[in-house]
Amino acid sequence: MPKTEVILTHNIVGLGGESDHVKVAAGYARNYLFPQHLAIPVTAANKRRIEALMQRRAERESHELNTMTELSKSLSKLVCVVTVKTGEDGKMFGSVTNGMIADQLKTQFDVSLDKRKIHFEHPIRALGEHEVELHLHPNVTSTLKVRVESTTPPPAPADTTPGERKEEQRTEKRGRRPESHAPETTAGEKKERVPRTEKSAGERPRRQERPAKAAPEGRKS
């Protein structure tokens, strides 16, 4: 594929900045760069524009440096919350990606950040707080705190085992008596209220013995 040399008039990520001379495919330059006014052909007349392009590039890079420096200070004070699904044992399914963090930064703080600027020292595969590196600019780096939380509710703790529950039910059936609502009395009061009798309430009355019948006079004993 034939190549052609062009002068970039705008910053193009992965290709170069304003005033850079780069070689690209002739079809790419003809069909995209030139119609979008992102580059111009290398000619004697266009070379005179290089100084103006370099000045504009310096202003752009200075503005980006200031912007990213301020953004670095703001992000270092934030805690980005990422929610994930976990199993019953609390382990995550997969890991947290830089795209997930970038989405939450936009949702929670309205901060638009390219996910390629978010870097991990180690993959995030556990709940809790973590720190990730931010490469905001060639001369600006920062850190961001990320708290990973689970969307899965924890299992309800069991109060007692099935054996203990059965034992409690048996105890309730056998040992529990209906509560009496009668007023409490002391031992002394009980003694005073009980009537004194010669016979206790539990003793049965004895039968009275009938007198023996007298023998008739005409009979001899």
Domain that holds residue 146: 72-150
Q: Is residue 106 part of a domain?
A: yes
CA distance 134 to 74: 12
CA distance 118 to 77: 16
Q: Residue 110 belongs to a domain with what CATH number? A: 3.10.430.100
Q: Is residue 86 part of a domain?
A: yes
Q: Residue 36 belongs to a domain with what CATH number? A: 3.40.5.10
Instruction: Tell me, yes or no, whether 44 and 83 share the same domain.
Output: no
| Residue-wise pLDDT tens digits, 75-96 | 999 999 999 999 888 888 889 9
Q: Is residue 202 part of a domain?
A: no
CA distance 106 to 141: 19
Contact present, 144 and 134 (Cβ < 8 Å):
yes
| Residue-wise pLDDT tens digits, 179-189 | 555 555 555 44
**Mean of pLDDT values over 182-201:** 49
Q: How many domains does the chain have?
A: 2
Query: What residues contact 146, with CB distance under 8 A and at least 6 apart?
Result: 79, 80, 81, 82, 96, 101, 124, 129, 130, 131, 132
Which residue reads 């780096």 in tokens?
141
Amino acid at 207: R
Instruction: Tell me, yes or no, whether 76 and 140 share the same domain.
Output: yes
**Residue 19 Rama label (left phi>0; alpha psi -120 to 50; beta):** left
CA-closest candidate to residue 80, choices 31, 34, 134: 134
**Mean of pLDDT values over 15-21:** 92
Q: Is residue 163 part of a domain?
A: no
- 150, 176, 202: which is the final residue of a domain? 150
Contact present, 69 and 140 (Cβ < 8 Å):
yes
- Percentage of the chain surpassing pLDDT 70? 69
- 118, 150, 182: which is the final residue of a domain? 150
